[in-house]
Structure 1
Amino acid sequence: MSDNPKITVIGASNIDLIGFSKDKLIYQDSNIGSLETIIGGVGRNIAENLKRLDFDVELLTVFADDEFSKTIKNSCAQLGISTDYSLTIKGSKTSLFIAIMDRYNDLALGLSAMDIYNEIPDSFITDNLDLIAQNDYCILETNLPVSILELVTEKLPNVRFALEAVSAKKALKAKSILDRLYILKCNSIEAELLSGIKVEYENDYEKLIEHFLKLGVKKVFITLGKDGVAYGDENEVFISKNKIITPVNTNGAGDAFMAGLLYAEAKGFDLYDMVKFGSGCAQITIQHKNAVHPEICEEMVLKTIA
């Protein structure tokens, strides 16, 4: 058992099927490439990154009673990620995610089949309130239904919640809980949808961040892809530029960034170093075909950002 803070992650665990195109994608046609099957899911990916950074992690996710879920459970057990309080729904199907990557190994199209998360009962949260409350932070993500996001943040007002917005369509699920968040992490499209503010110029990111801060979010991080990260709190608003790296697979980069933010936050880093550490985690992650780099650790991240 480490001396690091304990973190609860409430979110999705998936089986991911990733297709890599050898040439420029031709839509409405069969493309030549390669396929990889990996264990993923936003919540599970964040939990694995945190565990590899030597944090104690409790993953609250939803399993089916099929072979795919058994595979995910076994993987979590081998990694030392506790899923003891996760939910199993009999007769359901494990959530699946299919990603088609372009020739630059960036996401061209994704398709998620995650109906199992619409079946989560309120008791999944109410039965675990004491568990969530005793940990230092709780990470949420928008594969969860609105009712669950609202319930856990309402019942535990003293917990520091960090939210991963996941995708443009799903991000809107978080609109009603923005005032209860300690950390908000989203990309520029998700930030525009959540705020109603259109970005036309770089200084518009300052307006976005100030909007979320006025709602009550304490720390805001808006990832801008190759253009860096816009971030801010009550003391500063800034844009940090990224180091350009040719990716092997960009899936999981955002999850690694979120894990890095929580690591740095728990360690007491200032805002600039939080972004630096999170970006280091993302840079490491995109250099591996898996959604989580199997060798990521504190030493590797510190060397990357040095």
Structure 2
Amino acid sequence: MNQPLAPQESAVLNLIRENPFVGQQEIADALGLARSTVAAHIVQLMNKGHILGRGYLLASEARVVCIGGAVLDRKYHARAKIVLETSNPVDSTRSLGGVARNVAENLARLGSSTGFISIVGDDDGGHALLKYMREIGIDVSQVVTTKERPTAEYAAILDAAGDLVLGIADMSIFDLFQPDHIERAWPHLASAGWVFADCNLSADALSTLIAKCRSASCRLAIDAVSTHKAARLPKDLAGIDLLFMNIDEANAILGLSNELTPDGAGQAARALQQAGAAMAVVSAGPRGMAVAGPETVAFIDAVAAVPVDMTGAGDAMIAATLHRLLEGDDIFDAARTGALAATLTTECASSVHPGLSAAFLEEHRYRLKT
């Protein structure tokens, strides 16, 4: 799917690999080219994601850059039956959320080199979010900070049984993240092995990202986030190497009515491929997920769990799948590890399992069906 290198581009890249400090004139002399021609090839190699900036820092096939939502999550759990139009005693919790942010944290905990790109407010919440992500080893150098809007926030009010009574969200800050932000951060995106994006991005930003990834060396994975936000994807899904959705989201963008069954998930995954996605993972809820690979479709059963909180399970699945793809697994083996990570996340109260690591997954691999 990615645009191949021209012979002269390959020759220039090979010389840079041999000596990252080689000068343009040295390259020109070695290849019998004009220096201006070498300079033009280097610009193309940067645009295609093979080198990053001046000094010819080479792209890393083992790096993931996540781009999308960063949210402050707040939950208010009522201690007794909720009475409307008056004050109710609650227990409150605060945490960091957002699909792309959660995926980035999971990846970092699994040991993958990870970058994160988003937009946050120039406020206490935004500063705390960036500080936390830096402390766990995530590159946040390309995150945009703005004074125009506050950091995105989601608040959930739960009744005494833990069921959602009311959810409110202020996500307006993401309207400010435009295609020019992707252009500015492009060397960081293009130099990654995988780019992961969520549909908190605008339709214009998603279209720009997909178009640019078609001609770059990086591979692109996208998560729909919700039925409403999935509509931001273009009709032509070509350029997306791996698409994550549930059946409702797939049905919504494809105009289909597949049932919430393994067969329904498989049909939806095939349909996403027919619409242009190279591979697709379609969730069938607690039963598992259909995985459409390059040549076949398989259904992967969910790993049995004793759930505490379902929040973040899908994000953990995505992160572990991408981590294992970076390690060389095929999409089916990678997704099985993703299913395990999802289950382990449901068995803790946090949206990102605090004990998650590659070793932790390995310790629990016995729970996978053979």
Is TM-score (shorter-chain normalized) higher than 0.5?
yes
After TM superposition, list the pairs within 5 Å mapping 1:118-267 onto structure 2. 118-157=175-214, 158=216, 159-176=218-235, 178-200=237-259, 202=261, 203-267=263-327
Deviation at 1:284, TM superposition (A): 1.6
- Residue aligning to 1:47: 104
- Pair 281,33 (structure 1): closer, same or farther in 2 beyond 3 Å: farther
Whole-angstrom distance in 1 between the partners of 2:182 and 2:74: 30
Whole-angstrom distance in 1 between the partners of 2:344 and 2:149: 35
Output the amino acid matched with 1:183. Answer: L
Deviation at 1:266, TM superposition (A): 1.2
Deviation at 1:103, TM superposition (A): 7.3
Whole-angstrom distance in 2 between the partners of 1:21 and 1:228: 32
Question: What 5-or-longer segments of structure 1 have no aligned partner?
Answer: none
| Count of matched residue pairs | 303
Whole-angstrom distance in 2 between the partners of 1:179 and 1:91: 34
- Pair 110,276 (structure 1): closer, same or farther in 2 beyond 3 Å: farther
Q: Tell me the TM-score normalised to structure 1 length.
A: 0.90
Whole-angstrom distance in 2 between the partners of 1:295 and 1:201: 32
- Residue aligning to 2:4: none
Question: What 5-or-longer segments of structure 2 have no aligned partner?
Answer: 1-59
- Identity percentage over the alignment? 25
Whole-angstrom distance in 1 between the partners of 2:355 and 2:111: 12
- Residue aligning to 2:143: 86
Contact 2:198 2:222 in 1 (8 A): yes
3-state SS of paired residue (1:296) = coil
Whole-angstrom distance in 2 between the partners of 1:141 and 1:218: 17
Q: Tell me the TM-score normalised to structure 2 length.
A: 0.75
Output the amino acid matched with 1:285. Answer: T
3-state SS of paired residue (2:149) = coil
Structure exhibiting the larger radius of gyration computed from Cα positions: 2
Decide which moves more: 196-205 or 183-192: 196-205
Contact 2:278 2:294 in 1 (8 A): yes
Deviation at 1:36, TM superposition (A): 1.1
- Residue aligning to 1:281: 341
Contact 2:120 2:144 in 1 (8 A): yes
After TM superposition, list the pairs within 5 Å mapping 1:4-15 onto structure 2. 5-15=62-72
